[in-house]
Amino acid sequence: MSKRSTATKRPLTYQEVWGRIGIYAFLGVLALFFLLPLYVMLVTSFKSMDEIRLGLIFSLPQQFSIDAWIKAWTSACTGLECTGLQVGFGNSVKILVPSVIFSILLGAINGYALSFWKVKGANVLFACLLLGSFVPYQVFIYPLVRFYAQTGIYGSLPAIVITHIIFGMPVMTLLFRNYYSGLPVELFKAARIDGAGFWKIFISIILPMSVPIAIVAVIMQVTAIWNDFLLGLVFAGRENLPMTVQLNNIVNTTTGERAYNVNMAATVLTSLVPLTVYLVSGRWFVRGIASGAVKG
């Protein structure tokens, strides 16, 4: 790693100062533009319906209220049931945890096998997997529905988890394979001479070295699976509909007046998990990607 230069900076010329001001002004405007929807959502969610009817969408709430949030969480109606988003949140967690764990584990094992155990035709196999990640989802849906119907697990938690694992595998394999191919192969050879087999090498040596890339994988999978709508709708079944599907049901329920404040609160609640993941792990995300390029 090279040290950052600590040399004193050359003073900027007059023109450069104006240039900088222009750049920062432009960036500031852009940031405001992208933050505006979030701002509107947040202020709206804290307003009462009476206030919303005034139509001043940019004004701050006159009476700060979290009723809309409570309603969105506990009693908003999704179709006939009025139990709020909490059910969907629970469902999403139930889908998320096993899907993330198993897709990453499988990706790591695949990547390890492909980069260290030179199987005959490994490259062809890998090419097929890669190709798989380019085929659009929708192509698979009908065959999968038929398959699950035949095996009798259609519309259940296992069905949606298995689906997420299948669709996550190409990218996870690619991610881990590329990371592992950057590790010195002598490490693997030394372990073989030491008498370690396929699983021993994986668990004792490779897996402990995979922390940076595993964090990247967790971030990718958590956001992808949490944000999924289509697969959840098709495969999870009525009992296990994920939060995204329930959010859609809440927002699209058309009985009487549209409760904008509840809709906004529900939307923010649903996006909270990926938002938190990004905020907490942004640093790790960059570090993980960088450490993939540098040898371990």
Partner 1 sequence: MSSVSLQNLEISYGNVPIVKNLDLTIEDGEFLVLLGPSGCGKSTLLSAIGGLADVSGGRILFNDKDVTWTDPKDRGIGMVFQSYALYPTMSVERNLSFGLRIAGIDRAIIEKKVKWAADLLQITHLLDRKPSALSGGQRQRVAIGRALVRDADIFLFDEPLSNLDAKLRAELRLEIKKLHKTLKSTMIYVTHDQIEALTLADRIAVMKDGIIQQLDTPLNVYNKPANEFVGSFLGSPAMNKVEGKIVADGDRLVFVAGDFRLDVSRYPFAQKIESGRPAVLGLRPEHILPAKGEAQAIEGKVSLIEPMGSSILAWSTFDGISLSHLVGQDDGCEADSTFPVTIDIQKASFFDVGTGWRL
Residues interacting with partner 1, by CB under 8 A? Answer: 184, 186-187, 189-196, 200, 204-205, 208-209, 296
Nearer to partner 1, 101 or 187 (CB): 187
| 121: CB partners within 8 A, 6+ apart | none
Give the residue with the Cβ less far from partner 1, 98 or 296: 296
Q: How far is the CB of 234 from partner 1 (least distance, A)?
A: 42
205 or 259: CB nearest partner 1? 205
C-beta atoms surrounding 106 within 10 Å: 17
* Closest CB 180 distance from partner 1, rounded Å: 14
CB of 283 to partner 1, least distance (A): 21
Name the residue nearer to partner 1 (CB basis): 185 or 289: 185
Q: How far is the CB of 148 from partner 1 (least distance, A)?
A: 40
Closer Cβ to partner 1, 53 or 118, answer by number: 118
**What b-and-e string marks burial along 221-254, b requiring 16 or more CB atoms within 10 Å of the CB?**
bbebbbbbeebbebbbbeebbbbbbbbbbbbebe
Taken in order 187, 189, 193, 198, the sign of the CA dihedral is positive
Is residue 194 classed as helix, strand or coil in its secondary structure?
coil
Rounded to an integer, what distance in angstroms lies between the CA atom of residue 38 and that of residue 91? 25
Q: How far apart are the C-alpha atoms of 137 and 227, rounded to whole Å?
A: 15
CB 147 within 8 A of CB 163: no
In whole angstroms, how close is the CB of 117 to partner 1 at the nearest point?
12
User: What is the sign of the dihedral through the CA atoms of 151, 157, 163 and 169?
Assistant: negative
Name the minimum Å distance from CB 2 to partner 1: 18
